[in-house]
Chains A and B, each alone.
Chain A
Amino acid sequence: MKRMVSILLSLLLLIAMAGCSTGDTANNGGSTNNGGTSDDGGSSGGDSDAIKIGIFQPLTGASAAGGEYETRGIELAHSLYPEVLGRPVELVKVDNKSDVVEAATAAARLVESEQVDVVLGSWGSSLSMAGADAFEESQTPAITISATSPNVTLGNEYYFRVCFMEDFQGAALATYAAQELGATKAAIIYEITNDTCVGVRASLVETFESLGGEMVGEASFSVGDQDFNSQIMAVMAGEPEVIFIPGNYTEAALCISQARALGYDTSFMGTDIIDVPAFLEVGGSDVNGTVTSTFFDPAAPTTDVGEEFMEAYSSTYDDSPSALSALGFDAYLAAIRAIEAAGTTDGPAVKDALYALEMDGATGALRFDDNGDAIKNQVVLKVAQDGEYVYYDTVEVNLE
Chain B
Amino acid sequence: MGSNQTVQGRLNQPGASSHKNRNRILTAVTLVIFVVFLFLADQGIILDSYGVRIIRLCGVYTIAALSMTLINGLTGQFSLGQAGFMAIGAYTTSLLIIPPEVKEQMYYVTPIQGWVRDMQAPFLAAILIGGLLAALIAFLIGFPVLRLRGDYLAIATLGFSEIIRVIITNVGSVTNSSIGIKSIPDTANIWWTTIAAALCITLVYRLMKTSYGRAFKSIRDDEVAAEAMGISLFKHKMLSFVISGFLAGLSGGLLASVVGVINPLYFRFTLAYEILLIVVLGGQGSITGTLVSACLITAGKEWLRFLDSGFSIGPITIPEISGLRMLVFSALLMVVILFYRRGLFGSNEFSWDGLFRLIQRTGARCKRLIRRGEKGGAAK
- List chain A positions with a Cβ less than 8 A from chain B: 3, 7, 10-11, 14-15, 18-19, 22, 25-26, 29-30, 42-44, 59-60, 64, 92-95, 97, 99-102, 104-105, 108-109, 112-113, 125-126, 129-130, 132-134, 137, 149-151, 154-155, 192-195, 198-199, 201-202, 222
Tell me if A26 and B260 are in contact (CB < 8 A): no
* Complex contacts, A195 vs chain B, CB 8 Å: 177-180, 263
Q: Is the CB of B327 within 8 A of A14?
A: yes
Task: Tell whether, in the assembled complex, residue B54 and residue A105 are in contact, meaning their CB atoms are under 8 Å apart.
Answer: yes
- A133 contacts B186, C-beta separation under 8 Å: yes
Task: Flag if A151 contacts B265 (CB, 8 Å).
Answer: no
A113, B322: Cβ atoms closer than 8 Å: no
Q: Closest residue of chain B to A149, judged by CB?
A: B179
B310 within 8 A of partner (CB): yes
20 pairs, CB–CB < 8 Å, chain A vs chain B? A3-B338, A7-B335, A18-B321, A25-B322, A44-B306, A44-B311, A100-B259, A101-B255, A104-B260, A104-B261, A126-B261, A129-B260, A132-B260, A132-B261, A137-B49, A155-B105, A192-B169, A192-B170, A193-B169, A199-B108
Other-chain contact of B177, A42, A94, A192 (Cβ < 8 Å): A192
Complex CA gap A134/B260 in Å reads: 10
Q: Are A60 and B311 in contact (CB under 8 A)?
A: no
B166: interface (CB < 8 Å):
yes
CA distance A126 to B181 in the complex (A): 9
Neighbouring A residues of B311 by C-beta, 8 Å:
43-44
A130 touches B169 (CB 8 A): no
| Consensus secondary structure, chain B interface | helix
Q: What residue of chain B has the Cβ atom nearest to residue A99's Cβ?
A: B266
A97→B301 CA distance, assembly (Å): 11
Answer yes or no: B182 CB below 8 A from chain A CBs: yes
By the criterion CB–CB under 8 Å, are A60 and B323 in contact? yes
The 3 closest A-B CB pairs, nearest first, are A59-B322, A112-B50, A60-B323
A3 neighbours in B (Cβ, 8 Å): 338
Q: Name the A residues within 8 Å of B110 (CB-CB).
A: 202
Residues in B with CB closer than 8 Å to A30 are 319
CB-contact partner of B172 in A100, A112, A198, A222, under 8 A: A198
Chain A residues, CB < 8 A from B169: 192-193, 222
Q: A18-B327, A105-B50, A126-B261 are in contact. Are A100 and B166 (CB under 8 A)?
A: no
Q: How far is the CB of B52 from chain A (nearest CB, A)?
A: 9
Q: What is the CA–CA distance of A25 and B49 in the complex, to the nearest angstrom? A: 32
Please give, as numbers and ranges, the residues of chain A lying within 8 Å of B302 by CB-CB distance: 105, 109
By the criterion CB–CB under 8 Å, are A193 and B264 in contact? yes
Bound: A73/B305 CA distance, A: 23
Chain B count of residues within 8 A CB distance of the other chain: 56
Residues of A within 8 A of B180 (CB): 126, 129, 195
Taking A105-B302, A193-B265 as contacts, is the C-beta distance between A93 and B53 under 8 angstroms?
no
B 135-176 contacts with A by CB, 8 A: 166, 169-170, 172
Supposing A112-B49, A198-B109 touch, asked if A222 and B166 sit within 8 A by C-beta, the answer is yes
Q: Which residues of B contact A101 (CB under 8 A)?
A: 57, 255, 259, 266
Q: A199 to chain B: which residues have CB within 8 Å?
A: 108-109, 179
The 8 Å CB contact of A108, one of B50, B108, B266, B323, is B50
CA distance A270 to B54 in the complex (A): 40
Bound-complex Cα distance A133 to B319 (A):
31
Distance of A147 Cα from B266 Cα, bound (Å): 17
Known contacts A99-B266, A108-B50, A129-B180; is-contact A14 B308 (Cβ 8 Å): no
| Contact between B266 and A192, CB atoms less than 8 A apart | no
- Beyond A112-B51, A151-B108, 5 additional contacts (C-beta under 8 Å) are A22-B324, A44-B309, A113-B48, A192-B169, A192-B170
Chain A residues within 8 Å of B264, by CB: 193
Interface centre among A102, A125, A126 (most CB of B within 10 A): A126
B319 to chain A, nearest CB (A): 4
Task: Tell me, in angstroms, the Cα distance from A102 to B305 when the chains sit together.
Answer: 11
Tell me, in angstroms, the Cα distance from A104 to B258 when the chains sit together: 9
Q: Give complex CA distance A130, B319 in Å.
A: 28
Residues of chain A lying within 8 A (CB to CB) of residue B121 = none
Which of A25, A64, A113, A195 has the most chain B CB within a 10 Å cutoff?
A: A195
The answer to whether A108 and B53 touch across the interface, beta carbons within 8 angstroms, is yes
**In the complex, what residues of A have CB within 8 A of residue B255's CB?**
101
Shortest distance between the CB of B316 and any CB in chain A (Å): 11
A43 interface neighbour in B109, B312, B323, Cβ under 8 Å: B312
Instruction: Report B3-33 residues with CB < 8 Å from chain A CB.
Output: none
Contact with B321, one of A7, A26, A105, A108 (Cβ below 8 angstroms): A26
| Interface hub of B179, B186, B262 (most chain A Cβ within 10 A) | B179
Least CB distance from B83 to A in Å reads 12
Residues of B close to A100: CB separation below 8 A:
259, 261-263, 266
CA distance A12 to B182 in the complex (A): 42
Residues on the A chain within 8 Å of B263, using CB: 100, 126, 195
CB atoms of B322 and A126 under 8 A apart: no
**Is B331 interfacial (CB 8 A cutoff)?**
yes
How close is B44's CB to chain A, nearest CB, in angstroms? 10
Q: Please provide the chain B residues from 225 to 265 with a CB less than 8 Å away from any CB of chain A in the complex.
A: 255, 258-265
Expressed in whole angstroms, the minimum distance between the Cβ of B104 and any Cβ of chain A is 12
Q: Are B323 and A26 in contact, CB atoms less than 8 angstroms apart?
A: no
Contacts of A59 in B (CB 8 A): 308, 322-323
Give CA–CA (A133, B328) in the complex, Å.
30
B320 interfacial by beta-carbon distance below 8 Å: yes
* Min C-beta distance of A48 to chain B, whole Å: 17
Contact of B182 among A60, A99, A129 (CB under 8 A): A129
Pick the contact of B327 from A15, A97, A150, A198 — CB < 8 Å? A15
**Residues on the B chain within 8 Å of A95, using CB:** 305, 308, 322-323, 325
Residues of A within 8 A of B166 (CB): 222
> Is B208 engaged at the interface, CB distance under 8 Å to the other chain?
no
| Complex Cα gap A99–B258 (Å) | 14
> Roughly how many angstroms separate A201 CA and B335 CA in the complex, as a whole number?
48
| A198 contacts B179, C-beta separation under 8 Å | yes
Closest chain A residue, CB of each to CB of B322? A59
Question: In chain A, what residue has the closest Cβ to B311?
Answer: A43
Q: Which residues on the A side are within 8 Å of B108 (C-beta)?
A: 150-151, 199, 202
List the B side residues contacting A198 at CB < 8 Å: 109, 172, 177-179
Chain B positions 289-331 with a Cβ under 8 Å from a chain A Cβ: 301-302, 305-306, 308-312, 319-328, 331
CA distance A291 to B84 in the complex (A): 38
User: Out of B170, B186, B305, which one reaches A94, CB within 8 Å?
Assistant: B305
Name the distance in Å between B178's Cβ and chain A's nearest Cβ: 5
Return the chain B residue nearest A98 by Cβ. B265
Most buried by B among A64, A193, A194: A193
In whole Å, how far is B230's beta carbon from the nearest beta carbon of chain A?
44
**B187 CB-CB contact with A under 8 Å:** no
Task: Determine if A109 and B50 form an interchain contact, defined as CB atoms under 8 angstroms apart.
Answer: yes
Q: Is the CB of A112 within 8 A of B48?
A: yes
- List A contacts of B202 (CB < 8 A): none
